[in-house]
Amino acid sequence: MISLLGGIALLVIGYFTYGKFIEKNFQIVPDRKTPAEVLKDGMDFVPMSRSKNAIIQLLNIAGTGPIFGPIMGALYGPIAYVWIVVGCIFGGAVHDYMIGMISLRNDGAHLPELASRYLGKNFKHIVNLFSIVLLLLVGTVFVTTPANLISSLTPDFLTIGIITLLIFAYYVISTLLPIDKAMGKVYPYFGAILIISTIAIGLTLIFGNYQMPELTLSTIRLENYNGVPMFPAIFFTISCGALSGFHATQSPMVSRTTTSESQGRYIFYGMMIAEGVIAMIWASASMSLFDAGTLSALINSGTPSAVVNEVSLMLLGNVFGTLAIFGVIVLPISSGLSAFRSLRGIIADYINVKQDTTKKVLMLTIPIFVVSFMLTLVDFNLLWRYFNWANQVTAVIALFVATRYLRLKNRNYIVALVPGAFMLYAVLVYILSEPIGFNLGLTPVTYIVGLVVSVIILWYLTKAGTKQISTLDENSEIVNDHLPIGTFSSGEA
């Protein structure tokens, strides 16, 4: 119990201390006009309240990540708490805040446009590719997981295939609606279900006399139950609850509906902290209710959705447990919708097709859904591994965008560089060692090659950044970020 409550307390403290520091370092301008006000279009650029933006951000970034990830991460034992807390405060929340706010300063631009602007035009194509692949995988994963959960609660005639088609039908309808109608009206109710069910599970754990494993020297292990080494696997297993590149595709969406820069810490940094709390509770529940062998067997029996069912029903009973399962279901459905909506926007920006008519929206939406439906037929565990790698590569890119932005503004860029460099090394070791990559295994050669390539990439980014700074002067649009929005064609303000 001490580890769970202590970890949650550290997350809250992190919001009020490190979060405040990150906000001060960014140098917000509270009365500056935002894209929601200047570029209002009734579809994607729509002013909304801080509370609605916050709940939309939470549901957009969460998905099943902060639940499924910690469930699988629980196989490493209480060391999972450390990554959730440290990763969330110093990595994930910084990542989400910086991309959300940089997008706010650039007319609500998506990550590929931001990468083009701050890392160089050639990066735009690379980041577009990663963003498209990532969002396709995210959308597919977040259709598959709720379909599995719903099928466990419904009659046999509602097969997973039928449920999947119904979810896609909901997505098609929602995609055609303005964001304040598709998300602003529904998400507060979804959010209430999620928050109440999560709190109920947490309180039942705390007051239900369950034996919760504590983080001690004797419980720290560097391999999980199945013998998989902690590095780098845990950083890909627990992503959405600590650091996730998927969030870099979602924060710009909310930057288009935010009405003041002063709301950024609460919306972007704060909702990542909230996701960390969700991750802590589900990791603790998984470790408290099952031994490692039973937990591993449940996960391997299909997906972690089996663990969600067991945890919810064991802790809350049939009625409230079922409500808790619905609380988990709304996460991937909402994140899947936002993933496809972001994917449509990124592709539209890339090929320069305005989304101002139903025909143009459907022209991009239908092919996306067809490809995604075909991916639902692929093995979930294979999809999850590819999603995890593409997800963390995107996080690295986003953190380097934030690093370059802060460096260009002559502010403390170490806050973004350190987590970015660490995850760069992790993604390189992962792709070198895993069967989905070069399949070299976790050998000394893998670690050395990963380190050498990381140093080369960091050297190149540093050199390119120095060259970019040397070409700027005091009147450069990149340096001057305090002018009214729309002053420059690129939108930086």
Q: How confident is the model at residue 488 (pLDDT cuts 50, 70, 90)?
A: very low
Instruction: Identify whether the C-beta of residue 95 lies closer than 8 Å to the C-beta of residue 395.
Output: yes
pLDDT of residue 344: 85
Instruction: Identify whether the C-beta of residue 74 lies closer than 8 Å to the C-beta of residue 462.
Output: no
pLDDT at 355 over 60: yes
pLDDT of residue 275: 94
pLDDT at 171 over 90: no
pLDDT of residue 482: 40
Task: Write down the domain spans for the chain.
Answer: 2-412
User: Into which CATH architecture does domain 2-412 fall?
Assistant: Up-down Bundle (1.20)
The pLDDT tens digits for 238-264 are 988 899 998 998 899 999 999 999 999
Rounded to whole angstroms, the Cα distance separating 292 from 404 reads 42
Contacts of 122 (CB under 8 A, 6+ apart): none
Q: What is the largest CA-CA distance in the chain?
A: 67
The pLDDT tens digits for 98-129 are 999 999 999 999 898 899 889 888 777 888 88
Instruction: Identify whether the C-beta of residue 280 lies closer than 8 Å to the C-beta of residue 34.
Output: no
pLDDT at 145 over 80: no
pLDDT at 348 over 90: no
Instruction: Identify whether the C-beta of residue 416 lies closer than 8 Å to the C-beta of residue 403.
Output: yes
pLDDT of residue 303: 65
Concatenate the DSSP letters of all residues of 356-378 into one string: -SHHHHHHHHHHHHHHHHHHTTS
Q: Higher confidence at residue 389 or residue 145?
A: 389
The pLDDT tens digits for 3-57 are 999 999 999 999 999 999 999 999 999 999 999 999 988 878 899 999 999 998 9
Contacts of 401 (CB under 8 A, 6+ apart): 98, 99, 102, 111, 114, 115, 118, 119
Q: Which of 207-221, 225-239, 341-355 has the lowest mean pLDDT?
A: 341-355
Rounded to whole angstroms, the Cα distance separating 392 from 390 reads 6
Helix, strand or coil for residue 460? helix
Burial 276-288 (b: 16+ CB within 10 A, else e): bbbbbbbbbbbbb
Over the chain, what is the mean pLDDT? 86
